Amino acid sequence: MDNPTVIIIGGGATGLGILRDLSMRGVKTLLVEKGDLTNGASSRYHGLLHSGGRYAVKDQSAARECIEENQILRRIGKSCVEETEGMFVRLESDDPNYESQWIDGCKSSGIKIKKISVDEALKLEPILTSKIVSAYLVPDAAIDGFRLSWQLVDSAKRFGGEIKTYTRAVGIDSHNGKIIGVRVRNRSGEHEIPCDIVINAAGGWTGKIAEMAGLDVGVQPDKGTLLVFNSRLVNRVVNRLHKSGDGDIFVPHGSVTILGTSSMSVPTPEDTSTSRAEVENLMRIGSELIENLPKYRLLRAFAGSRPLYRPKGGAIGREASRGFAIIDHSMEGLDGMFTIVGGKFTTFRLMAEKISDQVCKKLGNSNPCRTASEPIVAEVSSKSRENVQKFFPSFGLNLAANRLGKDRFEKVAKKLESEPESRQLLCECENITRAEFEVIASEETSTDLDDIRRRTRFGMGTCQGTFCTFRAACIFGKNSAIDSTREMLFERWKGIRPVLIGQSLKQAELMRSIYISSLDVNAGGELF
């Protein structure tokens, strides 16, 4: 690409949605991200595609946005969405007045709900407590943030969009009140990329990027901790029918279930720590919905920071708006600088459309937004699946097709057919073949094992990388395999440490034994 017209700072769902939108309108656009894609809030959340039900009482505008985008993403991002549907249940201890407010809010927001009997609710989700007094079905769903983000990249590239990962913005340059470029630093050093417009879409880091341009944007990082269980405890997204609080939602996600989430204002989005106290609090509250919850095996805890927009004097925590804001900084004397902040993963496409409309108006580009109507990536055809079915492990075919998309699926299928050794399973938990690992590892953006993990999900299943990380280290050769293994295991261990009890403790001891004895990755004791 020649010098881009627009540079987007931030490789989360919002930034990638903007990259796709502008590229489809013919605007030369580059996105820069300081790490791998989706390393912030876009991957550190519960994987819920909102119906809007959680906002139906407090914020009906946000609820309407959610249900509208929910339906759009089901159409354009089919391979990223699992249509689990959802259920809201009120327990004996929950306020009955809230239920009537919620029903009215759903009707006003356009959210279709269906009341079902307690008996029917327990037939659908038999693991739930018998203390349910009312239940409703809603159009919630689960969505894979990693998968969607990379498919947005693939879509943007088809229209000329580009990304640079591991490229940190270190300065925003202007002349006479007009943006002229962004200074970045990557492995090759520091340099400036000229451009006409900068879009600050850095999530929890939005305030820091604004400071580089001498601007002040109020962003309050709000940390949420979540727990991952090693099986699908529920078939649908299950929400408590009460005012939103900690530990009141279970989301089935692939082979696991995620319980979330807490809300805690933190000084920096870099704080993704979790504690045993947070785990115990979530387990205590979650056990009100699933009384036998402590009997199920915990895999890990993880945390992410929501980038809540907080104008001066605004609310914090759960009282802060989940809406989004777009700021054109030309009103503050810096022409060509835009900031977008707030919002939710579910509404990323809408956020991208709104800011792209403003940017295109400034550029004199009248091309309309097409992101709501055109599929993000082409689906893998039934014929392509049938042709290579004999090379895939049981249950692995459709999973791979959804993860990879048409073009990469064909590369993997060709490799499986021509190289029999590539049919070996690298990860049994997620049914990932060596062929898939090698295809993703060969891409320029895959610099270490963690990058490949986010693309393929190896190491994210029930063994948490105990076996597949060792195998991956033997195959991966771009950087030091031992260093890359150490970094990935450290990331896994960070989430495992707070849940060390019972079966989780046994699994961790097995992992420790394997990696100390085979690769000596425990030097200095920094992992275990």
Q: What is the pLDDT of residue 526?
A: 54
Q: Is the dihedral of CA 457, 462, 467, 470 positive or negative?
A: positive
Q: What is the pLDDT of residue 524?
A: 41
The pair phi, psi for residue 153, each rounded to 5°, is -60, -45
Q: What is the pLDDT of residue 375?
A: 95
Residue 370 binned pLDDT confidence (cut-offs 50, 70, 90):
very high
Residue 525 binned pLDDT confidence (cut-offs 50, 70, 90):
low
Give 186-206 pLDDT, tens digit per residue: 988 999 999 999 999 999 899
Is a pLDDT exceeding 50 seen at residue 100?
Answer: yes
CA neighbor of 18 nearest in space, from 167, 197, 211: 197
CA neighbor of 373 nearest in space, from 11, 16, 24, 12: 24
Contact 140, 6 (CB under 8 A): no
Give 488-513 pLDDT, tens digit per residue: 888 888 888 888 877 788 888 888 88
Q: Which helix (H) or strand (E) holds 254?
A: none
Q: What is the pLDDT of residue 48?
A: 94
Q: Which of 97-106, 246-255, 469-478 has the lowest mean pLDDT?
A: 469-478
Q: Is the dihedral of CA 315, 41, 512, 232 positive or negative?
A: positive
The share of the chain scoring above pLDDT 90, in percent, equals: 63
- Give the DSSP letter string of 366-405: -PPP-TTTS-SSPPPPHHHHHHTGGGSPTTHHHHHHHHHH
The pair phi, psi for residue 455, each rounded to 5°, is -85, -35
Give 124-178 pLDDT, tens digit per residue: 999 999 999 999 999 999 999 999 999 999 999 999 999 999 999 999 999 999 9
Contact 300, 139 (CB under 8 A): no
CA neighbor of 455 nearest in space, from 36, 12, 31: 36
Give 297-341 pLDDT, tens digit per residue: 999 999 988 888 877 544 444 444 557 899 999 999 999 999 999
**Which residue type sits at 98?**
Y
Contact 250, 258 (CB under 8 A): yes
The residue that leads in pLDDT, 354 or 395, is 354
Q: What is the pLDDT of residue 314?
A: 46
Taking the C-alpha atoms of residue 143 and residue 263, their distance in angstroms, rounded to an integer, is 21
Q: What is the pLDDT of residue 234?
A: 96
CA neighbor of 233 nearest in space, from 283, 173, 179: 283
Q: Which helix (H) or strand (E) holds 496?
A: helix 481-496
Q: What is the pLDDT of residue 312?
A: 59
Contact 318, 261 (CB under 8 A): no
- CA dist 199 → 86, 204, 209, 513, 528 (Å): 35, 14, 10, 47, 41
State the chain's mean pLDDT as an integer. Answer: 90
CA neighbor of 201 nearest in space, from 338, 350, 99, 29: 338
**Which residue type sits at 409?**
F
Coil vs helix vs strand at 508: helix
Q: What is the pLDDT of residue 480?
A: 63
**Both tokens assigned to 23:** 């590229």
Average of per-residue pLDDT across 469-476: 85
Q: What is the pLDDT of residue 70?
A: 97
The residue that leads in pLDDT, 397 or 28, is 28
Average of per-residue pLDDT across 209-238: 93
2 Cβ neighbours under 8 A, 6+ residues apart: 28
Contact 435, 412 (CB under 8 A): yes
What are the structural domains of the chain? Answer: 6-40+146-218+322-363 (3.50.50.60), 82-142+222-306 (3.30.9.10), 382-525 (no CATH)
Is a pLDDT exceeding 90 seen at residue 515?
Answer: no
Burial (CB count <10 Å: 0-12, 13-18, 19+), residue 26? middle
Is a pLDDT exceeding 70 seen at residue 85?
Answer: yes
Is a pLDDT exceeding 60 seen at residue 105?
Answer: yes
